[in-house]
Structure 1
Amino acid sequence: MIGWADIYKVVVAMVPLYVALGLGYGSVRWWRIFTPEQCEAINRLVVYFSLPFFTFEFTVHTDPFAMNYRVIAADAISKVLTVLVLAAWAKWSSKGSYGWSITSFSLSALTNTLVVGAPLLNAMYGRWAQDLVVQLSVVQGIVWMTFLLFMLELRKAGILVTTVAATSNGGGDVVSVELQPEAKDVEENAEVASRPSFCSLMMTVWLKLALNPNFYASVLGVAWAFISNRWHFEMPSIIEGSVLIMSRSGAGLAMFSMGLFMALQEKIIACGLNLTAFGMVLRFVAGPAAMAIGAIAVGLRGDFLRVAIIVAALPQSISSFIFAREYGLHAEVLSTAVIFGTLVSLPLLVACYFALGFIN
């Protein structure tokens, strides 16, 4: 059973992250040290240097031949289940929509695995739990972020088709009563011509991922992990030292940058109370519930079940907000989920950790 000493150990591991976040927030909102332009420069430093090295350093020390495929399968089942439910909701519910299905998937399935998850799970259950978080982080970065980008590109293509159709109709409605036969042929030909193929969509997705340093940090880290564990190579100390000197700043600078981001917003809750509550329910209830179903389906028990659920209850992925802003899809909802979710995650995760201690 989990005691107060265990909870204190978790709090000790988490509070430094919130100190870094508070320093970032105060440096802009209270002390006026950084301008918005300088905040953007710090954010670019984090995105292009600190976090990629942080991700790479964690990934290269995993053993791909000893990965817990049952936990990865549980995670996959939970996300596939989420996709199916949201697809059914978008198709058959009068209130469902494709755009909100994408946003709901981001809110319920994509978490801040490394920056918050790695130190948290290490404090809760030990190094083996941290290794599981790293494994799930790699899968999320390579598989599920690709899926999210593909869905966003598909939606963007749909908007493009509608725009072209509207233009071909003289700038009026997309389709008028859906026109003469000749005009209908022109409409359909314009729509088909503007609809990108699956290959072109995937090319766009992979190009965006290739421009994301954290993506190729994960890929390179996994590649080196396979090579080093297969042939028992050790990374040269000069290279490892170069990686470590940058990666050690990763978690602190990431949380500091989050504080800067929070301070630059006009208000923490940017999307209204109803949508905030909706996002928090998806992040801290629906996501863990789906993971619990997936974990039970593959037979996870004990600490493996607990770790899987806590990973699913981590704060919102920052990358999901970045993509939402880039594609113009409910960015204010994801912004609120990242900010508010990060603030409330410490007490919620500690409570979850304590409650799961009673589960056999």
Structure 2
Amino acid sequence: MPNGRTGIMAGMHALLSGFAPIWVLTGIGYAVGHGGLLGEQAEAVLGRFVFHVAMPAALFTLVSKASPDVFGGPAMVAFAASTAVAAGLGFVLVRRVFGRDRAGAAIGAMASGHVNSANLGIPVAVQVLGDASFVAQVILFQVLVLSPVILTLLDSGTRGGGDGEPGARRGGGVRRMLTMPVRNPIILASMLGVAVSAAGLRPPAALTHPCEVLGAAAVPTALITLGLSLHRGPGGGGGSRRGRAETAAVVAVKTLGQPLVALLVAGPLLGLSDGRLLAVVLCAALPTAQNSFIYAREYGLDAGPARDAIVASTLVSMVTLSAAAWALGGG
């Protein structure tokens, strides 16, 4: 019994430790916005800094150090299946039921299936699972597979990154789609990282250390930016009944639908062991990543729905993560 109680307390400590930076940094951003300390353009400037500078540095550092064969195994198949179902369902709901255009639906898909694997997934995995090896695979899957798909939908459904024209259409054509990887800093940094990893190169510390330092600013700055946006209040109908219904639908898909699909695929279909099953379900139950808010801002879309989904799913996941860890034997 003491061991069980110790495990439960350790799991709760991991959850609180993981959630604390989210709430503290978002709260700081809100306070800064309320006080007008950084001026009216702070949210836009910080958002662009994250998208164009800090996040590419973080992704290059992460991917360049990864092993090329990192995606093997049925556990990754189960997680990928849960992501595909959740993101696909989110896209259809937001587009067909709530009437968003393709770019808005792409953000809905991301909010439904892109998990907060870095600043929340890692501390939870280390404490509940004992290591973060599977979370590292999840991060790379989202960077190299999910994000390029979402960014392609955004690029094809808007006038271009960050031009401030919500929902504007692009003529672009095939040529623009083919050149998007070299125009988008997120995808370009990821591709460069893959090339370095595949070639077995080890860049000098004079290059990697500045990237690590710069990349470390991505998550805290994104959370500060999220807090700044909360000071403006609900956006995009977020305060209306329809806006609340959209947020509730996306959060339900993210916090309930995705882990349930992961449980069904990893358990009855693939027959994973208890440890692997717990890892897949826990990662699928993580809340929406702040990347969806940053992407929406950068592409000139209404970022209110993504912001609301992040805040609401983070609150709900405090319960669902605890329930998943308890039901599947975490700790």
TM-score (norm 1): 0.70
Give the conservation status (yes or no) of the 8 Å contact 1:103–1:330. no
The alignment status of 1:294 with 2:265, answered yes or no, reads: yes
Give the counterpart of 2:313 among 318, 341, 348.
Answer: 341
Letter in 2 for 1:36: E
Does 2:16 align with 1:14?
no
How do 1:92-107 and structure 2 match up within 5 A? Answer: 105-107=109-111
Q: How far apart, in 1, do the equivalents of 2:92 and 2:315 lie?
A: 32
Aligned counterparts of 2:152 and 2:46: Cα–Cα separation in 1: 29
Larger Cα-atom Rg: 1
Change in CA separation of 1:225 and 1:120 when aligned onto 2, cut-off 3 Å: farther
CA distance in 2, matches of 1:248, 1:98: 34
SS of residue in 2 equivalent to 1:315: coil
**Separation in 1 of the partners of 2:41 and 2:97?**
43
Whether the 8 Å CA contact 1:112–1:315 is kept in 2: the answer is yes
Q: CA deviation at 1:281?
A: 0.8
Structure 1 letter corresponding to 2:50: V
Matched positions, count: 311
Q: 1:26 — aligned with what?
A: 31
> What is the aligned partner in structure 2 of residue 77 from structure 1?
81
Q: Deviations over 1:188-239 (max 9, x none)?
A: xxxxxxxx89xx45x44454443332222222223222333xxxx5432222
Report the Cα distance in structure 1 between the residues aligned to 2:230 and 2:247, rounded to whole angstroms.
Answer: 15
Given the superposition, is the C-alpha separation of residues 258 and 207 from structure 1 closer, same or farther in structure 2, using an over 3 Å criterion? farther
Aligned equivalent of 1:240: 208
Cα distance change, pair 330–236 in 1 and its aligned pair in 2 (3 A): closer
- CA 1:318 to 1:13, structure 2 compared with 1: closer, same or farther past 3 Å? closer
CA contact (8 A) 1:111 1:314 kept: yes
CA distance in 2 between partners of 1:38 and 1:329 (Å): 17
What is the letter of the counterpart of residue 51 of structure 1? M
Matched, 1:62 2:66: yes
Structure 1 CA distance for aligned equivalents of residues 301 and 191 of structure 2: 27
User: Could you tell me how far 1:280 is from its partner in structure 2?
Assistant: 1.5
CA distance in 2, matches of 1:344, 1:3: 19
Aligned pairs for 1:250-329 within 5 A: 250-266=218-234, 269-270=238-239, 272-296=243-267, 297-321=269-293
- Alignment partner of 1:122 out of 117, 122, 126: 126
Aligned to 1:210: 182
**SS of corresponding position for 2:66:** coil
Work out the CA distance in 2 between the residues paired with 1:208 and 1:50: 19
Amino acid at match of 1:116: L
After TM superposition, the structure 1 = structure 2 runs for residues 101-250 of structure 1, keeping only pairs within 5 Å, are 105-127=109-131, 129=132, 131-151=133-153, 200-201=173-174, 203-228=175-200, 233-250=201-218
Structure 2, unmatched stretches of 5+, are: 160-170
Measure the CA separation in 1 of the matches of 2:97 and 2:56.
Answer: 42
Larger helix share, 1 or 2: 1
> Residues 136 and 25 of structure 1: is their aligned pair in 2 closer, same or farther, counting only changes over 3 Å?
same
Of residues 245-254 and 328-337 in structure 1, the stretch that sits farther from structure 2 once superposed is: 328-337
8 A Cα contact 1:17 1:255, kept in partner: yes
Q: In the alignment, residue 223 of structure 2 is paired with which amino acid?
A: M
Query: How far 1:282 moved relative to its partner?
Result: 0.9
**Closer/same/farther in 2, CA of residues 89 and 333 from structure 1, 3 Å limit:** closer
Counterparts in 2 of 1:113 and 1:218: CA distance versus 1, 3 Å: farther
Q: Give unpaired runs (5+ residues) of structure 1.
A: 158-195
Tell me how far apart the structure 2 counterparts of residues 142 and 263 of structure 1 sit (CA, whole Å).
33
Quote the Cα distance in structure 2 between the aligned partners of 1:97 and 1:42: 26
2-side partners of 1:47 and 1:302: how far apart? 38
One-letter amino acid of the counterpart of residue 276, structure 1? T
Deviation at 1:109, TM superposition (A): 1.9
Mapped to 2, the partners of 1:270 and 1:35 lie a distance apart of: 25
TM-score (norm 2): 0.75
Residue identity matched to 2:231: A
Structure 2 match to 1:185: none
62-71 vs 96-105, which deviates more?
96-105
Task: Decide whether the 8 Å contact of 1:279 with 1:333 is kept in 2.
Answer: no
